[in-house]
Amino acid sequence: MQRDHRANEFSEQEKLFVSLADGMNNTMLQLALLSEQAGTVPPKSQNVLWQTVHDVSRASLQLLEGYTLTMRLQGGTAEPELEAVAVTSLLYDTLHLLEPYAKQLQVSLVLDVPAKLQPVITDRAILQSALLSLGHVFITAHSESDATNKTVKIGAHMSGHGIVAGWYGQSIQLTTQALRRARRLGGWAQQPYGELVSGPATGVFIADSLLSTVSTRLHVARYHNASGLAVTLPACRQLQLV
């Protein structure tokens, strides 16, 4: 019997894998061409190119790690471990890890958190991996923008439903409808989230998949006049009383 390969026959895991492979294609092309270029310049100029190779590889490894983690969680070979997590320090670490990649793409990263923020109840590794994957997409998206100010914010704030943590940028306008469409098209269309980025937007889907393992999802959010994607997490009330 012949199988009809329509998008709606892909499982969520297959769609995520196709999206990841699409994204990795681009990374591999970057690495191949940077290596070719390094072979044509004098040794002194090669250092800059090898640093780019290093930073691009690291960023892709972060994305691959996020993918592996979500597959393990979805497959039941890993379990979320809920604990009180200090959001500010987690966001700071995330920003620090993405800074070399952002620098290569000439995008500035800013941390925007209030002075006092309650801890949240979640799995630290899952939240960090989700924010790293999402940050990857926001950095790429802003590097593609024709805006002169290419600054991306990682931020958190209190809301009526908990602590909202995510990535924001002023040069993009995201809508819930576009996010819903992106979720349908991810891993199938070549540009599933054209409102945000020209590529496969893999980091968005990895983040979404990771967050679903701790019973939450990405949503469109606004913070300090910037539009972005964020997750709302329950604040840790016990530590709040201490």
Report the interface residues with other proteins, using CB under 8 A: 25-26, 29-30, 32-34, 36-37, 40, 52, 56, 104-106, 140, 143-146, 190-191, 194-195, 197-199
Whose Cβ is closer to other proteins: residue 68's or residue 191's?
A: 191
Length of the chain: 242
Whose Cβ is closer to other proteins: residue 167's or residue 235's?
A: 167
Are residues 153 and 227 in contact, defined by beta-carbon separation less than 8 angstroms? no
User: Minimal distance in Å, beta carbon 178 to other proteins?
Assistant: 11
User: Minimal distance in Å, beta carbon 140 to other proteins?
Assistant: 8
User: Minimal distance in Å, beta carbon 38 to other proteins?
Assistant: 10
Whose Cβ is closer to other proteins: residue 60's or residue 122's?
A: 60
The C-alpha atoms of residue 197 and residue 186 are separated, in whole angstroms, by 12
User: Minimal distance in Å, beta carbon 230 to other proteins?
Assistant: 22
Whose Cβ is closer to other proteins: residue 88's or residue 143's?
A: 143
User: Minimal distance in Å, beta carbon 70 to other proteins?
Assistant: 25
Whose Cβ is closer to other proteins: residue 47's or residue 240's?
A: 47
Whose Cβ is closer to other proteins: residue 124's or residue 142's?
A: 142
Q: How would you write the chain as a 3-class SS string?
A: CCCCCCHHHCCHHHHHHHHHHHHHHHHHHHHHHHHHHHCCCCHHHHHHHHHHHHHHHHHHHHHHHHHHHHHHHHHCCCCCCCEEECHHHHHHHHHHHHHHHHHHCCCEEEEECCCCCCCEEECHHHHHHHHHHHHHHHHHHHHHCCCCCCEEEEEEEEECCEEEEEEEECCCCCCHHHHHHHHHHCCCCCCCCCCCCCCCCHHHHHHHHHHHCCCCCCEEEEECCEEEEEEEECECHHHHHC
User: Minimal distance in Å, beta carbon 144 to other proteins?
Assistant: 4
Whose Cβ is closer to other proteins: residue 159's or residue 198's?
A: 198
Nearest to 133 by CA among 199, 63, 67: 63
β-bridge mates for residue 223, sequence order: 226
User: Minimal distance in Å, beta carbon 213 to other proteins?
Assistant: 30
